[in-house]
Amino acid sequence: TPRKKIRLRSYNNLQDYSLEFKYTNAYHRKKIVLKNFKYSQLELIKILKEYNINELIYPKIGVTYLRYYFLSSLGRITVDQNIYFQQVNNSLQLSNRLIRDRKIILELKIEGKEREKFDKNEIARYFKFKEIRNSKYCNGVNSFINLY
C-alpha cells in the first residue's frame, strides 16, 4: 500500500464491461465501478482523464473463473473455482497459454449492520477454515513470474 488497481471486468464472456478503480492505503479502501462500459482505447483514455489518472497503464493479466453465489443470514457467499490466468498484450488480446490455479476460494461478504455483530473467529472455528488474504490477480502474476 498505497495501491491503485484498474480492472476491466466482464461476465459470461460478454462484451459488456464494468470498469473498476480500486484505491487502497493503510487506513482506507475505495472502489468505484462504472457499469455498462463499452470498451475502446479512446473511451478508456477519456475515462482515465476524467478520474485524474494520467500515468501510463498497461494490461497485465486476464483472469477467468467460475463463480457460485449463495445467500446466508450473515451475507453473500461466493465460491470461485476453475481459475485460469492468461497474459494480455497492450491491445487486450489474450495469449494462448493458460495457467490453472487449483485453489477453490470461498469468500463471505458481509455488509451493513451485520458487520458489527460478526465474529469471524467463530465462523472460522465452525467451518474449520483458515482465513487468508487472497488475490487472483497476484496469484496469476506470480504464476507467470515463476515460469521464467
Residue 71's beta-bridge partner residues? 76
pLDDT per residue as tens digits for the range 49-85: 999 888 888 888 999 999 999 987 777 889 999 999 9
Residue 90 pLDDT = 80
Q: What is the mean pLDDT of residues 43-53?
A: 91
- Which strands form 29-37's sheet, in the order they lie side by side? 3-10, 17-24, 29-37
Per-state percent for the chain, helix, strand, coil, to nearest 5: 20, 40, 40
Task: Output the CA angle 64-88-6, nearest 5 degrees.
Answer: 75
Residue 59 pLDDT = 85
Distance of alpha carbon 126 from alpha carbon 108, whole angstroms: 14
The pTM for the full model equals 0.79
Q: What is the mean pLDDT of residues 126-145?
A: 83
* Average pLDDT of the chain to the nearest whole number: 85
| Cell numbers placing 4 | 491503485
| Cell numbers placing 119 | 465474529
Residue 45 contacts residue 60 (beta carbons within 8 Å): no
pLDDT per residue as tens digits for the range 94-127: 888 899 999 999 888 877 666 666 777 776 777 7
